């Protein structure tokens, strides 16, 4: 049996005695017998570290690790610089709690302040929080920064990732928010339909940029439509794309959310990921979650503390805007180290490589009979037809160690590339796909 208890059995007996108990049973006599389990847990007995390590490794070995991934749809296989893993494995960062006690937590607090700065730079927003759970919960939380009495309608584009929309729907249940879907036309938000939907009761318009199908939305126009009726404009982003495409600030966004996973976090079967949230200055008191601010100590030296806490659940309780407490601090640190290692030019290159390869891939796939479904500007994802049936396609690619694009419910395929996909890998995937007899 394994154990991480430091006191020896002899010490435990001494301590029991000094605390006034005969034994453990005596100590637990304050728990009524009728609710006690009074039997052993029906789970296996403990094992040594060596045995457990081998057991867990056998689980890991049952997964297929694809070294060539052409699938995104909310989780992206970008290159992770080695320094990122090294820094984020430092035990102090890994094992600290939320930095409630500032004087003993300056390292964590400063790293969050730096993260907030990096997020403000990326998005062009004025303020960022210290993170929420993931991109979808960031999107859901942003709704409640926008709603107000008389403005309880929320318009979400159909071209937003369906998983994100599902989380938004769950969060709205029972809170009096009317969540409505703005239809798509040719793979992008239908702006004419949107114009007809927005009115004085609209709290916000939410789009994803690039959208679920990889298409670059006309964010300027959508922002304009939202603002004309006094609604707020919220954009869900791919943080790597932000180095290259028009920033949300430039297209008029009031709130920006993002799935931060592309910034140095491994795919990890879906988590831990990182929910990025940033907003304009005037919305700062509606921003949920932890926020770190700069201050001075009693000797005038610069330092950092958790601040604006009167927004939060531990003070406001049921009147708080959100219940969030634990967030994704170590993932925010990961993103910060990633952004520092990439720098402005490196991040731009990741974006440029990702989109360039997608354009090359799309052209080559078309030549192999997988035709583009939408005819609009796109970033690093795009949809094609699938002449051979999506299961045949993904099985064939999988048998060559390639994770193909995501089969969509309508039979089309959503493809993705990042800087990790070389021209040679793309050519090979196209050759295999094109070789499948219809």
**Phi, psi (5° rounding) for residue 21?**
-120, 150
CB atoms within 10 A of CB 147: 20
Contact 168, 140 (CB under 8 A): yes
Site for other proteins in 344-373 (CB under 8 A): 344-350, 352-353, 355-357, 359-360
Q: Give the residue with the Cβ less far from other proteins, 85 or 199.
A: 85
- Whole-angstrom Cα distance, residue 85 to residue 89? 6
Rounded to the nearest whole angstrom, what is the least distance from the CB of residue 344 to other proteins in the complex? 4
Angstrom CA distances, 180 to 3, 155, 194, 366, stand at 53, 5, 11, 35
Q: Give the residue with the Cβ less far from other proteins, 123 or 202.
A: 123
Q: How far is CA 59 from the centre of its chain?
A: 25
Contact 72, 210 (CB under 8 A): no
Q: Residue 116 in 3-state DSSP?
A: helix
Among 212, 262, 276, 307, binds other proteins (CB under 8 A): 307
Rounded to the nearest whole angstrom, what is the least distance from the CB of residue 181 to other proteins in the complex? 15
Q: Give the residue with the Cβ less far from other proteins, 291 or 373.
A: 291
Report which DSSP code applies to 132. B
Q: Does 375 sit near other proteins (CB under 8 A)? A: no
Q: Give the residue with the Cβ less far from other proteins, 73 or 225.
A: 73
Site for other proteins in 184-213 (CB under 8 A): none
Q: Does 1 sit near other proteins (CB under 8 A)? A: yes
Contact 336, 292 (CB under 8 A): no
Q: Give the residue with the Cβ less far from other proteins, 204 or 324.
A: 324
Among 291, 365, 397, 433, binds other proteins (CB under 8 A): 291
Report which DSSP code applies to 1. -
Q: Does 303 sit near other proteins (CB under 8 A)? A: yes
Site for other proteins in 129-188 (CB under 8 A): 130-131, 133-137, 161, 163-164, 166-167, 169-171, 173-176
Site for other proteins in 63-122 (CB under 8 A): 63-66, 69, 71, 73-75, 77, 79, 81, 83, 86-87, 89-108, 110-114, 116-118, 120-122
Which residues are paired to 69 by β-bridges?
403
Rounded to the nearest whole angstrom, what is the least distance from the CB of residue 219 to other proteins in the complex? 9
Site for other proteins in 223-252 (CB under 8 A): 242-247, 249-250
Q: Which stretch binds other proteins (CB under 8 A): 146-154, 196-204, 299-307, 365-373?
A: 299-307
Q: Give the residue with the Cβ less far from other proteins, 153 or 357.
A: 357
Kindly provide the b/e burial profile for residues 167-204, where b requires at least 16 CB atoms within 10 angstroms of the residue's own CB. bbeebbeeeebebeebebeebbbbbeebeebbeeebbb
Rounded to the nearest whole angstrom, what is the least distance from the CB of residue 385 to other proteins in the complex? 20
Q: Give the residue with the Cβ less far from other proteins, 229 or 376.
A: 376
Site for other proteins in 315-344 (CB under 8 A): 315-320, 322-331, 333, 336-337, 339-344
Q: Distance between terminal CA atoms of the chain?
A: 57
- Whole-angstrom Cα distance, residue 278 to residue 291? 11
Q: Which stretch binds other proteins (CB under 8 A): 39-47, 187-195, 222-230, 231-239?
A: 39-47
* String of DSSP letters for 137-152: HHHHHHHHHH-BTTB-
Q: Give the residue with the Cβ less far from other proteins, 150 or 300.
A: 300
Contact 283, 161 (CB under 8 A): no
β-pairing verdict for 381-384 and 413-416: antiparallel
Q: How far is CA 101 from the centre of its chain?
A: 27
Name which of 231, 249, 207 is nearest 147 in CA terms: 231
Q: Give the residue with the Cβ less far from other proteins, 229 or 313.
A: 313
Q: Which stretch binds other proteins (CB under 8 A): 23-31, 194-202, 222-230, 365-373?
A: 23-31
Q: Does 259 sit near other proteins (CB under 8 A)? A: yes
Q: Does 30 sit near other proteins (CB under 8 A)? A: yes
Q: Does 301 sit near other proteins (CB under 8 A)? A: yes
Rounded to the nearest whole angstrom, what is the least distance from the CB of residue 230 to other proteins in the complex? 25
- Whole-angstrom Cα distance, residue 137 to residue 340? 26
Name which of 354, 377, 137, 375 is nearest 257 in CA terms: 137
């Amino acid at each position: 049996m394994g154990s991480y208890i430091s006191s020896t059995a002899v010490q435990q007996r001494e301590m029991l005695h000094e605390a006034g108990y005969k034994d453990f049973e005596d100590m637990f006599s304050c728990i009524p017998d009728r609710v006690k389990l009074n039997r052993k847990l029906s789970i296996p007995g403990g094992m040594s570290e060596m045995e457990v390590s081998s057991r867990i490794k056998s689980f890991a070995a049952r997964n297929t690790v694809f070294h060539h991934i052409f699938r995104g749809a909310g989780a992206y296989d970008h290159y992770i610089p080695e320094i990122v893993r090294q820094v984020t494995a430092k035990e102090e960062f890994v094992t600290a709690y939320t930095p409630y006690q500032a004087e003993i937590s300056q390292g964590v607090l400063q790293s969050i302040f730096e993260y907030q700065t990096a997020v403000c730079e990326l998005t062009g927003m004025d303020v960022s929080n210290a993170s929420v759970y993931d991109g979808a919960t960031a999107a859901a939380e942003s709704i409640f920064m926008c709603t107000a009495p008389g403005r309880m309608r929320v318009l979400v584009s159909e071209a937003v990732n369906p998983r994100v929309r599902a989380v938004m729907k769950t969060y709205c249940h029972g809170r009096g928010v009317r969540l409505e879907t703005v239809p798509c036309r040719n793979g992008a938000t239908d702006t004419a339909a949107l114009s007809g939907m927005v009115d004085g009761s609209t709290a916000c318009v939410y789009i994803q940029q690039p959208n679920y199908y990889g298409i670059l939305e006309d964010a300027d126009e959508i922002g304009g439509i939202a603002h004309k009726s006094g609604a707020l404009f919220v954009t869900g982003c791919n943080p790597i794309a932000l180095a290259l495409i028009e920033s949300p600030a430039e297209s008029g966004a009031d709130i920006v959310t993002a799935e931060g996973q592309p910034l140095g976090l491994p795919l990890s079967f879906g988590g831990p990921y990182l929910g990025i949230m940033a907003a304009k200055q005037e919305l700062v008191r509606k921003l949920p979650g932890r926020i770190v601010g700069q201050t001075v100590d009693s000797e005038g030296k610069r330092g950092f503390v958790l601040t604006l806490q009167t927004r939060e659940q531990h003070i406001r309780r049921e009147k708080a805007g959100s219940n969030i407490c634990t967030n994704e601090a170590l993932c925010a640190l990961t993103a910060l180290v990633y952004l520092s290692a990439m720098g402005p030019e490196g991040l731009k290159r990741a974006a440029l490589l990702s989109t360039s390869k997608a354009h090359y891939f799309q052209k080559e796939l078309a030549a192999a009979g997988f035709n583009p479904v939408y005819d609009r500007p796109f970033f690093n994802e795009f949809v094609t037809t699938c002449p051979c049936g999506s299961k045949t396609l993904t099985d064939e690619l999988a048998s060559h160690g390639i994770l193909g694009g995501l089969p969509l419910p309508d039979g089309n395929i959503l493809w993705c590339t990042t800087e990790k996909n070389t021209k040679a890998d793309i050519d090979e995937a196209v050759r295999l796909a094109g070789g499948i007899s219809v």
